[in-house]
Structure 1
Amino acid sequence: MEAGTAPPRSFGHTLRAVWSHAARLALDVALPTLCVACRAPVAGVGVCAGCWAKLSFIAPPLCPRLGIPFVYDPGPGLLSMEAIADPPAYSRARAAVRYDDVARTLVHALKYHDRTDLAPAMGRWMARAGKELLAGADLLVPVPLHWRRGWSRRYNQSGALARAIEKHAGVPVAGDALRRIRPTQQQIGLSRSQRASNVQGAFKVAADRNAQIQGRRVVLIDDVLTSGATADACARALLRAKAAGVDVLVFARVVDTHKAPI
């Protein structure tokens, strides 16, 4: 055998691969793929046409800082009230969709029900929404789980989304650069100030990863942006490690339709 040539597959290996493929086909016939939102049969993976139509994709006009969609176009460069009143540590945020019923179902399926098969489609939508952020990015950094929660959940949904985006944008993932150094309670049900207190000081760039972050433009990846407290705490940790800048890209964001640009 020539040097560098991979050894031929054994007959047993080939037979196992054939049986595995046949088993998957049989399972697909026995259990047709269902829409993750409404449970209707659907070709492929994800959502049916009806639920797809209910997804509210975010598009311009939007706040150039926070990515909040505007009801009308206020003109170039005008910020939302939130961006002016309480500017975040990160430079820009973008989201693929509004956090509505269908988006919530997708997020929960990925996050809590092992539906990692949804990550490629969700990541593709995120890559499209964050095109301008990704164009100048050096690294993708997923929001980390604390090791205890990661052990019980077995995977990090933000990491799954980051890896999907990497395939579309070509920006490498630094999955272990940022760490959650203390456990935090669930943000659900907390006020804005409680959310900020809950995650204050919870994140830190690993000492052996400082060189990886220093001078780099980082895009922080997460599933949902609500108050922005978690993203802000992560951005501060990355900036303390001398990141050149931090942007945020999420699958869905909560949108207050009563707010207007000023």
Structure 2
Amino acid sequence: MGRVMRGFGVISGPLGRFLYPPVCAGCGGAVTRAAALCAPCWSGLHFIERPYCEVLGSPFSFDLGRGFLSAEAIAEPPVFARLRAAVIYGDLAGRLVASLKYSDRTDLVPLMAGWMSRGGRELIAEAGVVVPVPLHPGRLFRRRFNQSAELARALAGHERLPFAPVSLRRIRSTRSQVGLGPQERLANVRGAFLVPPERADDIRGRRVLLVDDVFTTGATVSAAARALKRAGAAEVDVLVFARVAADAR
């Protein structure tokens, strides 16, 4: 361990910065520090700010007053209480998510989790435990890590909240949601999650902050929230890095 830490010190010190200069997390261009974005990439991110729907966190084009809900939240109230996202899913946000998920860019976790912490401040203030959306064990073995768990771990550590990475399990292997329609997505994840009886005390009576990387139609987090509520969660809020714009789904 000491040898590893000394090696890390070299890499993170002046010699390391000379040999491995920091690059933009979005485009790979030169930047002044690691885990940062260059100015053009920064301007390409659409951070979600108020006004937005108090339930689904979808941004409004003009201020309708605090507490106003979107037509979608009124017509189809979600299983979870509230959703917040740091950014709107677009080209750059998609590249960041893909780099973390498929290219082992875990160095992006502090950057992305920091933005999530800012976007989900009110949810974090009321959270009793942080739970990531789990991968099925087979997919976790192939991918080697769960990107949602790494984001949740960073959030919980920074905010000093209990972290329960194994309190929710994916008990059924499902197809990737990519390319599926809304109804297919719902059917794909129905009954896919379970809180094991031996982990129920982690959840019971607590307000759970459920963490995922991307919100598209809400099928996955809704199925996960149902399992958490069946296990006795007082309520479930959802915090994601990026959400697809309501008019793009």
Question: Residues 3-42 of structure 1: matches in 2 within 5 Å?
Answer: 17-22=5-10, 25=13, 26-42=15-31
Residues 1:74 and 2:68 are matched in the alignment: no
Q: Extract unaligned runs of 5+ from structure 2.
A: none
- Quote how far apart the aligned CAs of 1:27 are: 4.9
Q: Extract unaligned runs of 5+ from structure 1.
A: 1-12
Q: Match of 1:101?
A: 91
Specify whether residues 208 and 34 from structure 1 end up closer, same or farther in structure 2 by C-alpha distance, changes over 3 A only: same
| CA RMSD across the alignment | 1.8
Specify whether residues 22 and 56 from structure 1 end up closer, same or farther in structure 2 by C-alpha distance, changes over 3 A only: same
Misfit runs of 4+, over 3 Å: 13-20, 23-28
Q: Match of 2:168?
A: 178
Question: Residues 63-212 of structure 1: matches in 2 within 5 Å?
Answer: 63-212=53-202
User: Percent of counterpart pairs with the same letter?
Assistant: 50
Paired residues in the alignment total 247
Partners of 1:82 and 1:53 in 2: CA distance: 29
Partners of 2:22 and 2:109 in 1: CA distance: 16
Which entry has the higher C-alpha Rg, 1 or 2? 1
Could you state the TM-score of these two structures normalised by the residue count of structure 2?
Answer: 0.93
Partners of 2:193 and 2:248 in 1: CA distance: 32
Partners of 1:85 and 1:233 in 2: CA distance: 19
Letter in 2 for 1:34: V
Partners of 1:117 and 1:160 in 2: CA distance: 10
Could you state the TM-score of these two structures normalised by the residue count of structure 1?
Answer: 0.89
Question: Residues 50-69 of structure 1: matches in 2 within 5 Å?
Answer: 50-69=40-59
Query: What is the SS of the residue equivalent to 2:246?
Result: coil
Specify whether residues 161 and 19 from structure 1 end up closer, same or farther in structure 2 by C-alpha distance, changes over 3 A only: closer
Specify whether residues 249 and 154 from structure 1 end up closer, same or farther in structure 2 by C-alpha distance, changes over 3 A only: same
Q: Is the 8 A contact 1:36 1:105 kept in 2?
A: no
Q: Is the 8 A contact 1:58 1:95 kept in 2?
A: yes
Partners of 1:34 and 1:148 in 2: CA distance: 33
Q: What per-residue deviation string (whole Å, max 9, x for no partner) do you get for residues 74-101 of structure 1?
A: 1232211111111110000000000011
Q: Is the 8 A contact 2:25 2:108 kept in 1?
A: no
